Structure 1
Amino acid sequence: MILTEVLVQDEGKTLEFKENCRPSQKILQAVVAFANTAGGTLVLGVRDRTKEVVGLSDPLKEEERLANLFADNIRPMLIREIQILSWRDRELIVVTVPHMVGPYFVRTEGPEKGVYIRLGSTNRRAGPEIIAEIQRLAINTFFDEQPCTEVNSEAIDFRAASEFFAQVSLKLTHAKQHSLNLVINHGGREVPTRGAILLFGKNRRSLFPDAVIRCARFRGLDKSHFLDQAEIDEYLPRAVESAVAFVERHAAQASEIGRVRRKEIPEYPPPAIREAIINAIVHADYSIGGMNTNVAVYDDRIEISNPGLLPFGLTLEAALAGTSKLRNRVIGRVFRELKLIEQWGSGMGRMIAACTEAGLHPPRFEEMGTSFRVTLYSGKVATPAVPEWYRQLLKHLAEKHEISTRDAAQLWQISDRAARARLRKLVDQNVLAEIGTGPKDPKKVYVLKGK
């Protein structure tokens, strides 16, 4: 592990800094949350608020204490790595926790109240729905594969479902219904799965009252005044088209005059809108009550959110790189059969590519509380002029990977004070990160953020 690469990062889903090993309960909660969510790294000897590297006075003693703490207080037994690493004259402890199939819990708090997950840079106690999802992951089953024993197969509109399949030249035979887990044999009778009800249920609201898409067009940049709204309660493949139509109806159109005719240019690239809506429907956590999939159109952006964070074991970085992990296997497979999904893991990349090609800012992907949100931005991206001093800085960092205030002053031929102010501004703009033992550390260096 290159420690400098860790120190320049901000705390988040897979990283936490602690000044020391106390209080021990907070340490246990962080490690349990990492194991249950997507893995992570705990660095001891760094102040979490200022990221000052203070080190540990007796790292060997702390290492032994941590090993005993984890062995005695985390259930089931957790595999983790504890390392002592040096940075300048400071000794740090780095605890690396892989994502493991749990649920893991803090022994003293018990299996019902001691399960934690990672939400952003915080550790949150998991509720019953989250614990149930982790338990399903442990036995490799999915919420939408579970039987709906309250009804029988007549609750599914197979005529409508067959029409969707016919549109892509496929037949929805009885054998295919079983192979897609739309229906399963349970207790000696044939029953639909939850996924089948969500996809093609005749009365789906009676079983899943929140499985609707709420769309709204707001005036301005916030939710103070809405101009239009719609509640989409349709079979999921049809819901995609209805949600896309709502957005296209309310998104502005620009005009481009050609030699022959005028061409209408959509404010947002249609592939990005479509991918965002499909992703929200396919990856929504339908086990969470009281939450809907939402589409909000503002003057400057579109926000599309769905219940549920990224599936456990998946980080945002991995998802952006194309790693795919389904939350709803039945819904996902049916959408793939209907050619609504082209390739697993390609959705985010297609959104980014569509926006970039249209000259727009790239979409923003974020986990918000217990939901996941995609934001598409309108407006062309202006390319600002890059000053020569900034080019010099990038060239220096490409070669040396870091720069001090004195080095920057010499590079730019300005005073130390002016160089420090310029570097500080880049830190505030989230371009650079500073690494040091404190505000007055004479050996403080600056590196590109996330590098």
Structure 2
Amino acid sequence: MQTGRRLNIVKDKDFDGPLPEVVEGARQLIASLLREFQVLGEDARFRTVPEYPEFAWFEGLVNAVAHRDYSIRGEYTRVVIFDDRLEITSPGILPNRVTLGNMRTTRFARNPKICHVLASFKWVRELHEGVHRVYQEMEELGLPDPEFSEPSDFSVRLVLRNDIGKRVPYMSDSIGSKAAEERRTERTLSDAEVTALNLAESEGRVTTVRLMQSVGVSRVTASSLLKRLVEKGRLVWHGTGQHDPNQYYSRS
């Protein structure tokens, strides 16, 4: 956690109103703030993956709203996004017979009426069912297990870690987040262009042949794509001439 001058809050939003509207508003905001990563698969091709499985963080959000202790006044369900993790904190300790040790196998609803309303939106599940799947979703994406804790006598916290240290070789802020954001907003980069940028970043350079192998396109298509990225100011061409066998492209 960063503090003082290094703590940079970029978004602070409160949601109030009917629970379905609160949940949906929070979902849209969280989704807009999370990043995409380019990771290198076993086939030596890059693929785009989410920062966290959507089910994992949304299930955590819904559980926090559905199972919190509403008798505690002045406290709120909080979602905090850090560079390396996402934290969801809910007022109230775990309900009834549910413990940190058995929450994957024990069912209980502290607020059955609220759960019933949220279930009508197909958002809420039995507590143990949702928690078990959160573990599965994180594992399938190759991320650490979710961390549940009771940091105080009046709250429960879920921490999801994005394993950013291992993802950095395949994504940097200058490409991954910037390119992903540009794709989401301006839609100016294709998947193949994002792959080319990530190859240039992770390997220090990208050639026509390397891009052909990664995205499965012809030499002409790969060459045209790289030239477009030069025109867009995203890549820099290096070589002595058009037919230089050692020519390559690097990040601008």
TM-score, with normalisation over the residues of structure 1? 0.33
Q: Deviations over 1:73-104 (max 9, x none)?
A: xxxxxxxxxxxxxxxxxxxxxxxxxxxxxxxx
The corresponding residue for 1:306 is: 90
The corresponding residue for 1:248 is: 31
Distance 1:344 1:374 in 2: 13
Q: Is the 1:359–1:381 contact (alpha carbons within 8 Å) kept by the matching residues of 2?
A: no
Question: Displacement, 1:318?
Answer: 1.6
Q: Is the 2:108–2:126 contact (alpha carbons within 8 Å) kept by the matching residues of 1?
A: no
- Please list every run of 5 or more consecutive structure 1 residues that lacks an aligned counterpart in the other structure: 1-219, 383-451
Distance 1:234 1:222 in 2: 31
Q: Is the 1:222–1:298 contact (alpha carbons within 8 Å) kept by the matching residues of 2?
A: no
Q: Is the 1:361–1:380 contact (alpha carbons within 8 Å) kept by the matching residues of 2?
A: no
Question: Displacement, 1:373?
Answer: 0.4
The corresponding residue for 1:267 is: 51
Give the residue type in structure 2 aligned to 1:254.
F
Question: Displacement, 1:343?
Answer: 4.2
Which one of 281, 290, 306 corresponds to residue 65 of structure 2? Answer: 281
Distance 2:163 2:30 in 1: 16
Question: Displacement, 1:365?
Answer: 0.1
Q: Cα–Cα, structure 1 residues 377 and 257, in superposed 2: closer, same or farther, change >3 Å?
A: closer
Q: Is the 2:60–2:88 contact (alpha carbons within 8 Å) kept by the matching residues of 1?
A: yes
Q: Cα–Cα, structure 1 residues 266 and 226, in superposed 2: closer, same or farther, change >3 Å?
A: same
Q: Is the 1:360–1:381 contact (alpha carbons within 8 Å) kept by the matching residues of 2?
A: no
Give the residue type in structure 2 aligned to 1:246.
L
The corresponding residue for 1:347 is: 130
Distance 2:28 2:36 in 1: 14
Name the one with the larger helix percent.
2
Distance 2:119 2:147 in 1: 25
RMSD: 2.6
Question: How many positions carry a matched residue from both structures?
Answer: 161
Name the one with the larger strand percent.
1
Question: Displacement, 1:335?
Answer: 1.6
Which residues of 2 match residues 306-345 of structure 1 at below 5 A? 306-320=90-104, 322-345=105-128
**Aligned sequence identity (%):** 32
Give the match's secondary structure for 1:326: coil
Q: Cα–Cα, structure 1 residues 222 and 374, in superposed 2: closer, same or farther, change >3 Å?
A: farther
Question: Displacement, 1:327?
Answer: 1.0
Q: Cα–Cα, structure 1 residues 307 and 332, in superposed 2: closer, same or farther, change >3 Å?
A: same
Q: Deviations over 1:94-153 (max 9, x none)?
A: xxxxxxxxxxxxxxxxxxxxxxxxxxxxxxxxxxxxxxxxxxxxxxxxxxxxxxxxxxxx
Q: Deviations over 1:380-428 (max 9, x none)?
A: 697xxxxxxxxxxxxxxxxxxxxxxxxxxxxxxxxxxxxxxxxxxxxxx
Give the match's secondary structure for 1:237: helix
Q: Deviations over 1:338-387 (max 9, x none)?
A: 211244521211111111100000110001211000000012697xxxxx
Give the match's secondary structure for 2:83: coil
- Please list every run of 5 or more consecutive structure 2 residues that lacks an aligned counterpart in the other structure: 167-252
Question: Displacement, 1:257?
Answer: 8.6
Distance 2:50 2:138 in 1: 12
Distance 1:313 1:236 in 2: 26
The corresponding residue for 2:161 is: 377
Structure 1 segments of 4 or more deviating over 6 A? none
Question: Displacement, 1:281?
Answer: 0.3
Higher alpha-carbon deviation: 246-255 or 371-380:
246-255
**Bigger-Rg structure (1/2):** 1
Distance 1:306 1:225 in 2: 23
Distance 1:355 1:298 in 2: 17
Question: Displacement, 1:234?
Answer: 3.2
Q: Deviations over 1:419-446 (max 9, x none)?
A: xxxxxxxxxxxxxxxxxxxxxxxxxxxx
Distance 1:366 1:269 in 2: 20
Distance 1:381 1:300 in 2: 8
